[in-house]
Amino acid sequence: MDAAETAASARAGAVSGIGIDRGDGMGRLTTVPASAVLLGIAGLIPFIGFAALSVSGSDVGLGMIGLSPRTILSAYGAVIASFLGGIRWGVAAARGAGWPDYLLAIVPSLLAWTALAAPAPWDLRMLGVLVLVWGLVDQDLSRRGLVPVWMSRMRLVLSGVAGASLLVAA
């Protein structure tokens, strides 16, 4: 990384790393923006926290308002699964993709909605597997040059932690 790229990366709030990939003609940023890392980690807090509460049997007073950590975890997992489909939809729209990408984009929302109707423990099992598998499914986006490489790598880590949290709580 030359001095200009280092300065640009620092101004953008990027995590020190790989630099800019100029080999594909797209100039794809391969350094992970700090905002993506911080928000990605923040998004794991509900997964880890509510999974821990579910396993411990504690409801930290949520029962007083008719909720449980498990119910919140299930709802959050479904919302995030839908968000994952939204990523593909957004990429498809931005890049002029065809039917296959749009059809694939709606799968997480439909499966998450189905999981919410499933009895325990199948709801969290379905959501956990969905989030784990979708981390792998979306790896084609970076291979096709549709998203930066860092995004696919970060998605694997985030999907791994989120999916594991759902499965542990199941």
Q: What residues contact residue 151 under an 8 Å CB cut-off, 6+ apart? A: 36, 141, 142
Helix, strand, coil share (%) of the chain residues, nearest 5: 75, 5, 25
Instruction: Please write the tens of the pLDDT for every residue from 5-53.
Output: 444 444 445 444 434 343 443 445 568 999 999 999 999 999 999 999 9
8 Å CB contact between 28 and 149: yes
Instruction: Please write the tens of the pLDDT for every residue from 133-170.
Output: 999 999 999 999 999 999 999 999 999 999 999 999 99
Question: What pTM was estimated for this model as a whole?
Answer: 0.83
Phi, psi angles (nearest 5°) of residue 114: -65, -40
